[in-house]
Amino acid sequence: MKTVSAFLWQLVQSMTTNEKLFFKRNFAGCANKEKPLYLLLFDAIAAQKKYDEEIILKKLKPALNAKNIAYQKHYLQQQVCAAIAEYDNRENTSHTIYKQILLIRVYRKKGLFDEAFAVWEKAVIAARKNEAFAQLNLLKAEFEKIILLSNTHTSYDNLHHVFQGNIITYSEYSEMITLRDVYTEVIFLKRKAHFDLNTKLKKRAEELLTLINKVHTRPANRSFWFNHYYTMSKATLLYLLHRHKESLKLLKTIWAEWKKNKHFILSDGEFYIEMLYMINYTGIFIGEYEFVLSVFNDSLNNEIQDRVHKANFETNKFLAFNKIYNKTVQYDEVEKLCNSMKHKYPQWEPFLNTDLNRTTNISMGISFFVLDKYTEALYYIKRSLIDYKDGTREEQMAISNVFLLVITYCMNHPKLFDAQYRATYQYFYKKEKTQPFETALIQCLHRTFYMQDIKAKAIEYKKALSIFDNNKENFIQQQMLAVFNYYRWLKSRFLRINYRDYVTQEVKGK
């Protein structure tokens, strides 16, 4: 956990120019007065490239000293947090409704019941439009309190209209809450593994799919969020259970719903980006490249404003385009894309979760390998293995271990290869289950690395290729080859031609 000082420095440094201006105008409290001490502290922290408390104390002494700096930092943090929360939510409908709820309570307590009811009506309409169901429950509780103690005049027809305008019934709302909880669990399942699910995880995925299929209410146009939770839960589970075509069919329907309800992107962009993440994986696996490209190029993505959301969107877009360019042998585009990503990625990295960071490094590493830039490939694959360890995406650890061995093999560096072979061997020795193609590939590389006889090498390559052929129906092997085609790479070694040239011939010859 960060220290208070480190957090405060990072918080101040993260503020945009507009946020700083808003803070000074609305929370500095220094009109016609000297700058308060906490604001001087703010300016001093904002000017530092690295937090140094001793320099700040020297700069602001004697007003700021060792005895009062802790209080000043605490107060500054409170003011900054209040300012950026207010600034960030100034156009947020949910925030506006919450402020209206607070205002209704104030009016009610002051006996201004007509005013409270007027605000209540506006808030209900906005909450219903925004599908803010939790806030609607709070508003109904406030209405009960208004009518219990007031003489507020409103017609029965008007009240009937307000209360009967529910988007979904209470039983449907209950189902939606269940679906929301299911979706949360589904996200955790997907983070554990995308395709190499153990028996326990697979069984749980099947149980959750059965639960969703038993939902009484089917998605309807009345509730966007009911549709979203239902469809995304089901589509993700179908993906995890290797039913990709069914999954993509559902993803296409929810993509169309987001296009009709684009205002939700501003307030709930995380859900939108997760949908794009799933379209990337599912669409590319079954070869619907045009659809994936059209989704990521759609003008709807211009609705993404939050910089964290933008970083996640742009990274997902890179991953989608990089895979498609590789699979369609557009290697000039791959090189342009990766060279551009090298400069952009460090800016986005802090805003991405472990899964996305690891995936990005693997994607970069594979591309640089295909481009014969082995040193850069080694750097990114090592990062994916060493820098991002949190127990998610177990199959990616296997990918990184095997791929590092392939890279060091191609670099023809004995010390690097021997060290990586020991690390790879140890990893798979401890792994719960090793796939036949993984064992065959590792053994082949180990046997042929020091071989001088070309014919003897060719025999070993052929043996490994036969293992791949014998297990071509193995779904885990299919998924691994979708990440990087080890089979084609071995074939290129067997034929003694460059991997990129071989793949180009294979793809264009089809």
- Classify residue 96 by burial, with Cβ atoms within 10 Å: 0-12, 13-18, 19+: middle
- CA angle at residue 389 from 386 to 393, to 5 degrees? 115
> Under a CB-based contact definition with an 8 Å cutoff, are residues 205 and 159 in contact?
no
CATH 3.30.360 assigned to 171-189+197-303: no
Q: CA-CA distance, 467 to 131, in Å (whole number)?
A: 54
Q: CA-CA distance, 365 to 400, in Å (whole number)?
A: 9
Amino acid (1-letter code) at residue 237? L
Q: CA-CA distance, 114 to 207, in Å (whole number)?
A: 51
Handedness of CA 497, 421, 367, 400 (dihedral sign): positive
Give the pLDDT score at 134: 83
Q: Which DSSP category does 100 fall into?
A: H
Q: CA-CA distance, 94 to 139, in Å (whole number)?
A: 13
- Classify residue 254 by burial, with Cβ atoms within 10 Å: 0-12, 13-18, 19+: buried
3-state secondary structure 428-449: HHHCCCCCHHHHHHHHHHHHHC
CA distances from 437 to 327, 455, 496 (A): 21, 22, 21
Amino acid (1-letter code) at residue 370? V
Residue 159: pLDDT band with limits 50, 70, 90: low
pLDDT at 156 over 80: no
pLDDT at 423 over 80: yes
> Under a CB-based contact definition with an 8 Å cutoff, are residues 141 and 103 in contact?
no
CA distances from 321 to 227, 244, 314, 331, 383 (A): 28, 19, 10, 12, 21
Q: CA-CA distance, 109 to 210, in Å (whole number)?
A: 49
Lowest mean per-residue pLDDT among 137-141, 286-290, 337-341, 431-435: 431-435
Sequence ranges of the domains in the chain? 4-88, 93-166, 171-189+197-303, 435-510
12-17: long-range pairs with CB below 8 Å, 24+: 12/42, 12/45, 12/46, 12/80, 13/46, 15/46, 15/80, 15/84
Percent residues over pLDDT 90 in the chain? 53
More confident residue, 35 or 105: 105
Lowest mean per-residue pLDDT among 210-224, 225-239, 318-332, 424-438: 210-224
Q: Is 151 helix (H, G, I), strand (E, B) or coil?
A: coil
Tokens of 5: 């000082």
219-226: long-range pairs with CB below 8 Å, 24+: 222/167, 222/168, 223/131, 223/167, 223/168, 223/172, 223/176, 224/131, 224/257, 224/261, 224/264, 225/131, 225/133, 225/176, 226/168, 226/172, 226/175, 226/176, 226/179
Radius of gyration of the chain (CA): 29
Tokens of 256: 């169309």
pLDDT tens digits, 362-420: 999 999 999 999 999 999 999 998 887 776 777 888 889 999 999 999 999 999 999 99
Lowest mean per-residue pLDDT among 30-44, 119-133, 260-274, 436-450: 30-44
More confident residue, 286 or 2: 286
What would the DSSP string read from start to end of 105-129? HHHHHTT-HHHHHHHHHHHHHHHHH
pLDDT tens digits, 266-308: 888 999 999 999 999 999 999 999 999 999 999 999 999 888 8
pLDDT at 154 over 90: no
Give the pLDDT score at 165: 61
More confident residue, 386 or 160: 386
Q: CA-CA distance, 431 to 220, in Å (whole number)?
A: 45
Average of per-residue pLDDT values in the chain: 88
Beta strands per DSSP E along 32-137: none
Give the pLDDT score at 90: 77
- Length of the chain measured in residues: 510
Q: Is 288 helix (H, G, I), strand (E, B) or coil?
A: coil
pLDDT tens digits, 42-60: 999 999 888 898 999 999 9
CA–centroid distance for 457 within its chain: 43
Q: CA-CA distance, 272 to 265, in Å (whole number)?
A: 6
Q: CA-CA distance, 380 to 382, in Å (whole number)?
A: 5
Q: CA-CA distance, 87 to 92, in Å (whole number)?
A: 10
Cis peptide before 436 (omega within 30 of 0): no
Q: CA-CA distance, 269 to 303, in Å (whole number)?
A: 9
- Tell me what the mean pLDDT of segment 95-110 comes to: 89
pLDDT tens digits, 108-134: 888 888 888 889 888 988 888 888 888
Q: CA-CA distance, 263 to 203, in Å (whole number)?
A: 37
Residue 152: pLDDT band with limits 50, 70, 90: low
Q: CA-CA distance, 437 to 475, in Å (whole number)?
A: 12
